[in-house]
Every structure is written in C-alpha cells, then in structure tokens.
Structure 1
Amino acid sequence: MSPMHIRNWSGNSDRPALALHCMMGNASYWAPIATQLADLVEITAPDLPGHGQSPDWPGDPDYHTHTTRETAPLIQRPLDLIGHSIGATVALRIAVAAPEAVRSLTLIEPVLFAAAPDPTAVDQLEAIRQLSVDGKDEEAARQFLSIWGEVDLDNQSPTSRSRLIRQIRMVVSGNDTLVHDSAKILRDGGLEAIDAPVMLVMGEESPPVIAAIAEALAARMQDVARASVPGAGHMLPITHPNQVAGLIRMNLEQS
C-alpha cells in the first residue's frame, strides 16, 4: 500500500472515488466537494508526496513518475478518478495505462502542456526551472505561485513560506513529463482507449493554455464533456467548490 497520508470522507461506500490534488496543495481541500458528493461516492484523497502529512519526495525517479507509482496501489477496483492540475495529469496517466480501472474521469485544469504547446507557458516554466537551478528557489516559487497558485508568497506564514519554497524542486522535476510528455501519456491509442465518461473542467480566468489543453485532449477521447466555471482561475476546487462539485456530479451520473 502507498505510504502517502490518506484522507477519507464518509459517503456511499459502494462507490469509491479517488481525488488527487494540485502541486503545493494538500488533500484537505477536497473536503467540501466530498461532502456534497457523499450521496453518490465515498472520496479518498492522498496527500501527494512532499505535501501535507505525506513523506517527502526522495528525489528519484522524477516527481511525476514517483507520484504515479505511489498512487496506483490505491486503486483496488474500478473507481471514479478525480484530479486537479498535476493531480489531473497523474489521473490521466493512470487512466491511459489502465483504462479498465476507471469508472469515470474528471480532470480539473490538467496541466499537460505537451498536449497543446504554448510558447508563453513553456517560457514561464523554463524561467522558473532556471531560477531553481541557479539556487533562487524563493523567486522561482514566487513566480510559479503568481501564475498557477493564486497565492502571494510574501503573505504566507514563515512555515508555509518555507514549505512552498522547498516544494518548487518538485515543480521543476515534474515539468519534464508535463512539457515534454516523457511518460508518453499522449501516445497513439492511449487517450482513445479510455471509454469511461470524461469531464474536463477549467476556470474561465485561467491561463489560455488550459483551454487549449482541454480542446486537444477532448479531440481524442470517446466520451467527453467540457465545462468552464465563470469567475474562476486555476484554483477553482478551493475558490469555487460548489460549482466544481456540481460538475463532478454530472460526470458521476453518466457512469
């Protein structure tokens, strides 16, 4: 069993669901959504490696591969898989590798940049990577959070600030998969093999690359819907949990 710290919320025990959070978050933010969906599913959510109460990322293999390996043992039978940001890309990687394990798939702001290469997004990520390589993790974290975290690093407590700065190394490690698809998530026939209902959810005010990614993924999937939440950015499971829960519910009801 995965050593990650697991959070559980009571719900319909006959229908398990697994929710995977974003980079620099933790599983606790699924609580309002899990409560609203308790009549349909029972949600379990791990703190991903290096987050919340889970053990640190050991540094090898790359962060995305390590997280996928730690997550896969949590799937003991077909279930509803939900992911946000990098969590959505881990969910998609699992669904491509084992489509039979997925009853439904909800991808919230999947940051699989390789699906729709965008020079602006790639340049931003490269600048963040270079800052970290140069030992400037604090500035790297500040730039990352300003784009993808909707968080001001300078307004955080000393403990939170230190944690966020430390986590930028995981961001950099995961980007080889996200930008270059080193895990071959986009391989021929992979997305097409997912026959479960898929819902792609994005924030209306998210960076434009997110809509392009959603469009590229949707074009290759069998049973897919897309939804945009007005007034929301990248962190919509936290800022707009009611709307996100409603969209997940729609997808759950399709399966």
Structure 2
Amino acid sequence: MQSVFVRHLGEGERKLLALHCTIAHSGAWSGLASALDGCASFIAPDMMSHGRSPDWDGQGDFFDAVTKPALAELTEPMDVIGHSFGAMIALRLAIEHPDRVRSLILIEPVFFAVAKQDAPLLFEQHERDSEPVNAAFGSGDKVLAARLFNRAWSTKISPKWPDLPERTRANMVRGVDAVPAVQPVLYDDQAGLLDPDRLRRASMPTLLLSGSETPPVIHAICAGLQRRLSDARHERINGAGHMLPISHPDETGALLRAFWQANAPIGVKAD
C-alpha cells in the first residue's frame, strides 16, 4: 500500500475522517473544519495523485488503492464524511467496516449507478452532458479534460479556469486521470455496493447533503440512497452547488452539528 499525506484540522472530541473529491485535496476541508472547530477534529488524507500524496503507481484498481489508506486512518469508531467521489469511499468503508463508522455523511455522492436504476432519463442527460469531457480524455488532452470536468461541477459563482492559480490548475490536471479510472465503480457498481445484503450493513445514522443548484442527477442519487439505507435523511443547502462544503461551510457545519446532536451525541457542543 502506497503511503499518503494526512492533514489534521480543527480541535474537538469528535474524530472525523474526511475524504475529499476528485481533483481537490485535503485542504478543501479547511472552511468546514473552522466552522466545526471545538466540535470535531478532522483526519483528512490526500488521495493518491492529489495534494501532497504520491502519484498512483497504476497497479490494481484505483478505488481499492484509495480506500486502503483511508481505512488505515479509521483506527477506532469515528464519524466519516465524504464529498463527491470521496463519498463513494466513505460509503464503502461504512459497508465493509460498519463497526468503525459511528455516523456517515455523504455530500453530493456521484454514484451514477443509482440514477441509472432509479432515474434513467436524468442519467441519460448526465451522459450527454459528460460527452465533451469523455471526448477530451479520448483525444488524450488532459488539460482540456480537467478544465471541462471542473466546469461541469461548478456554478455561476465559481471561478473560471483562467482565473484559477496556475498551481491549482496543474494539480487538477495531475489528478484528473482518476475520473476514467473510477467510471466502472460509479456507473456500473463494479464494487457491488448496491447489493442489498451488503448495503444493509451500513445501518449507522447517515446524512445525505446536496446543493439546490447541483445537477439534477445528484438529487436522484441522494433520494435513491436514502431509500436504500436503513437510517438516512437527505438535506439540501439552498444556493449551493456541487462544491457546497467549500462554498457553504457554515451552513454545512450547522447541519452536521444538528445531525450529530440528534443521532450521535457524544461530546458535541451545542451552538
């Protein structure tokens, strides 16, 4: 197993394993960590090929390769939060190691296999919207692929690609190979996470979060997971898009505090 960089943010009794989205890094949790300071201590690894972690060596399956370092940080029962593809890692940990996951927070999970089953028209629209990104990958243009992928998950208020710092753009290009690497998991459930017997293991309190301005396919995914999980609720943050833990950390933090106080109230300080 390749070693990865792990960032520690915030101070609080509640240990929170935080798993970032594709083409980002663990520092993306800084705003939410500040909003939850005094309540939670973030343990936030960088995925391979992201942040300060080394590049993936290409051996085996990428989903396995990024799940193993996350599991290594899950040394005791703790809360687990994941954003976008990070939510897929979080869900897998909850299914495979439920004794170590006290509560589960899935922010904008990109589990398109759920929409494929439950909302085929929205899934097909997402497929059409993804064609330019897939074409860029097909032509070998990683810069264009990263630019289009970033735009696809941005909102009107998000900074445009030319306005991003050069280092940020370079880091996005570096990590963008993760997108095609995990398509069989996201679109075809290659890992078998939707198997009812397996999914039943994730019986811990679960909060699904989405932004009101996110692509509609995400709402279908959240609704589908809420139906399939035994103890799940779905909340939307008005005005937020896919990057809601970054753009709306205070609103996200307030929902997490309320969720924990109602469902896993160990040492949580009230507002």
TM-score between both structures, scaled by the size of structure 1: 0.92
Question: After alignment, is 225-234 or 34-43 more displaced?
Answer: 34-43
- Taking only the aligned residue pairs, the percentage that are identical comes to 35
The aligned counterpart of 1:87 is 86
Which residue pairs with 2:178 in the alignment? 170
Structure 1 residues 242 and 2, CA gap change in structure 2 (3 angstroms): farther
Match of 2:134 among 113, 121, 129: 129
Tell me whether 1:8 sits opposite 2:2 in the alignment. no
- Partners of 2:216 and 2:35 lie apart in 1 by 29
Q: Closer, same or farther in 2 for the Cα pair 1:151/1:111, shift >3 Å?
A: farther
User: CA separation in 1, counterparts of 2:24 and 2:188?
Assistant: 23
The answer (yes or no) to whether the contact 1:128–1:172 under 8 Å persists in 2 is: no
Aligned to 2:242: 234
Q: RMSD value over aligned CA atoms?
A: 1.8
Structure 2, unaligned stretches of length 5 or more? 117-122, 265-271
Q: 3-state SS of the aligned residue for 1:201?
A: strand
**Matched ranges for 1:115-126 at <5 A:** 115-117=114-116, 118-125=123-130
Q: Relative to structure 2, which stretch is displaced further, 52-61 or 79-88? A: 52-61
**Contact 1:95–1:194 (CA under 8 A) maintained in structure 2:** yes
Partner of 2:32: 33
Structure 1: stretches of 5+ with no match in the other structure: none
Letter in 2 for 1:148: W
Distance between the aligned counterparts of 1:85 and 1:190, measured in 2?
21
| 4+ long deviations beyond 6 Å | none
Contact 2:15 2:79 in 1 (8 A): yes
Q: What CA distance in whole angstroms lies between the structure 1 residues aligned with 2:170 and 2:9?
A: 29
Aligned length: 254
Query: Structure 2 vs 1, CA of residues 134 and 17 (structure 1 numbering), >3 Å: closer, same or farther?
Result: same
CA distance in 2, matches of 1:101, 1:126: 39
- Residue 219 (structure 1) aligns with: 227
* Structure 1 position 244, deviation (Å): 0.6
Superposition deviation, residue 34 in structure 1: 1.8
SS in 2 for 1:193: coil
Q: Describe the superposition over 1:150-197 as per-residue Cα deviations: whole angstroms up to 9, x where unpaired.
A: 452232333332332232211111222111111111112222222211
Q: Are residues 1:158 and 2:163 paired? A: no
Paired with 1:111 and 1:132, the residues of 2 have a C-alpha distance of 19
Report if aligned partners of 1:141, 1:168 keep a CA contact under 8 Å in 2.
Answer: yes
Which stretch of structure 1 is more off in the superposition, 48-57 or 116-125? 116-125
| Contact 1:19/1:81 (8 A) holds in 2 | yes
TM-score (normalised: structure 2) = 0.87
Q: How does 1:41-80 map to 2 (within 5 A)?
A: 41-80=40-79
Cα distance between partner residues in 1 of 2:115 and 2:137:
25
